[in-house]
Amino acid sequence: MADSLALSGRQAFETLFLQGWRSLRFGLGLLGAYTATHVLGVLWSRRYLPPGPFPLPIIGNFHQLKPLPHRALQEFHRQYGPLITIYMGSRLTVVLGSPEVVKQTHKDQGDRFTHRVLTDFARISLHADEEGGKNVALAGGKYWIKARRIFVQELMSKKFITTHAVPKIEEENWSTVDAIRELGGKPFDPHFYLQRLSLNIVFRLTYSLRFGRDEITQENSKFQELMGVINTVVKIGGTNVMANYIPILKIFNFGLKRRQIETVAKRDKVLFQMLEEHKRDLNPAKPRDFLDVLLTRQKAEGLSDREVMLIAWECITAGTDTTSATMHWMTLLLTNHPEIQRKAQEEIDRVTGGRPVMLDDQPKLRYTDAVIKETMRLQPVVPMMVPYRTVENIYVTSEGCQYCIPRDSQVLVNGFNMQRDPKNWRDPDTFDPERFVTGPDSDIEIRGSDAASDPHHLKFLPLGTGRRACAGYALAKAELFLQGATLMQSFEWKPPPGVSKIPMGESFGIAVSPNHFEVCARYRSEAVTAPLQTGGLR
């Protein structure tokens, strides 16, 4: 009886073991077949694609891009060359990493590089149609041409910049100087002051709104309302972004689309309210700000209220983080390089004689201007620019081989790689403004769409290039110069006591910013003998 039971138990175990082994073998066979199919599929599809790292199933190369994608891509360029292929999930992505390649795409075939990639949230947030969003950066087709023309003609016109923008920029610069001076040289985190500076400039230029120091911390203020809108939009827009590239992740988007729609509706309510207030007080003969200008041209241009609202709102979203992050990097670099700081200050003191820096001083302040350029070269705050989408096959030659960028690919321009490539720059990882003053790179300027005309200038693309270059580059150049020169003129930047150098760590986000740090700023009262009077602005 016992022997019979033992035999029966052994037979049952053997049966279960065989069934388990067959199931495991079947599963391994399926996995092997899937892997073989994936490998063969990738190899077959890559016959005419640029080289690059091998992607994993489902996630592609995402696992190799964190935590700093621009630096990971730089390593890929070193390994595979200036034109590479990666997969962001299932999305084929081609990365351009040399001036020669970018010339072929943005100069020789510039009309083919005008379409943008839209995420699911961007479609909701920008009320997109089949052509694109209803702003400038992510618009498409005839609407993009119209929106960009209005933006450039009005906000970027020399008249608007000199009569409207520059006085407000100067006032906000010196209001910030006053705020930092009141700290008495004690250690502080400059992020708050530089962020508020950029916010006040773009809000004044766009909506004639300004936020005082007290209002920023006051509950239920207009500032708190608007910042709440901005922060909520950024937060919900960054939720499960990977699902745009890995569709299976959308099963985790429980109620996400509904929350996105609700968030956009709340934003639109606030912006429409501001739009109606501007309509009530509008004087077409004397526009106060960019929103007034848009309303004045609304009927003639055939713009809806929503389109006016979104074009104006783009000034806020595009013009805040990028400028403040650049100034953040500049203060850090000057703090770590006191000899460069002193040389710029000596130049400013010699040219201004103690009065505030003016935009007209820029041609005479070559070294000071070079400090700002070198900051943007070494630490570009938008290192890969806004992605493009191809709508047809595009052929590009790199290192003697012709490759195909297939239709419906995502294309990235890796400005970070070009601005740190030893083939393009001497000692590319060194902070050396002198390169923009003397030598072969002294003629390089911050350019916009015209940069694509010369490969020599294409190695420096802090504001993009081609037909989709930053539409606001003329205003950005003026703002960056005035902010940077004023901060250099007004303060001696030093590390806190006991710190020799501030670490150069960085955080990847809407803009690549330095990790939070503290610095000491001694007011240069001996050099600033006639500071700009801001009329009590706080």
Q: The tokens of 419 are what? A: 């601005």
**532 Cβ contact partners less than 8 Å away, ≥ 6 residues apart:** 170, 171, 173, 174, 356
Q: Spell out the residues 6+ positions from residue 289 whose beta carbon is closer than 8 angstroms to its own.
A: 164, 204, 205, 206, 207, 208
The Cα–Cα gap between 97 and 88 comes to 17
Give the H/E segment covering residue 277: helix 256-280
Q: List 389's β-bridge partners, or say none.
A: 410
Q: Which of 368, 377, 366 is nearest to 459 (CA)?
A: 377
Strand partners, 492: 522
d(CA 289, CA 413): 33
Return the axis-axis angle of helices 366-378 and 473-490, rounded to nearest 10°: 110
Kindly tell me the burial class for residue 78, based on how many C-beta atoms sit within 10 Å of its own C-beta (0-12, 13-18, 19 or more).
exposed
Residue 423 in contact with residue 388, Cβ under 8 Å? no
Name the residue among 321, 318, 228 with its Cα closest to residue 508.
Answer: 321
Asked if residue 202 lies in contact with residue 211, where contact means CB atoms within 8 angstroms, the answer is: no
- Angle at the Cα of 115 (from 112 to 118), degrees rounded to 5? 155
The DSSP-derived string for 96-161 is E-SHHHHIIIIIITGGGS--B---HHHHHHTT--SS--SSSTT--HHHHHHHHHHIIIIITSHHHI
Angstrom CA distances, 243 to 91, 119, 132, 170, stand at 11, 9, 20, 43
Nearest to 235 by CA among 312, 127, 125, 139: 125
- 315 annotated ligand binder: no
In the 8-state DSSP scheme, what is residue 398?
Answer: E
The two tokens of residue 483 are 């902010």
Omega cis (within 30) before 67 = yes
Q: Is 418 exposed, middle or buried (0-12, 13-18, 19+ CB in 10 A)?
A: buried
86, β-bridge pairs:
93
CA-CA distances (angstroms) from residue 37 to 31, 44, 62? 10, 10, 20
Burial letters 451-481, b for 16+ CB under 10 A, else e = bbeebebbbbbbbbbbbbbbbbbbbbbbbbb
Are 228 and 190 in contact, with CB atoms under 8 Å apart?
Answer: no
- Residues comprising the binding site? 470
- Residues comprising the binding site for heme? 470
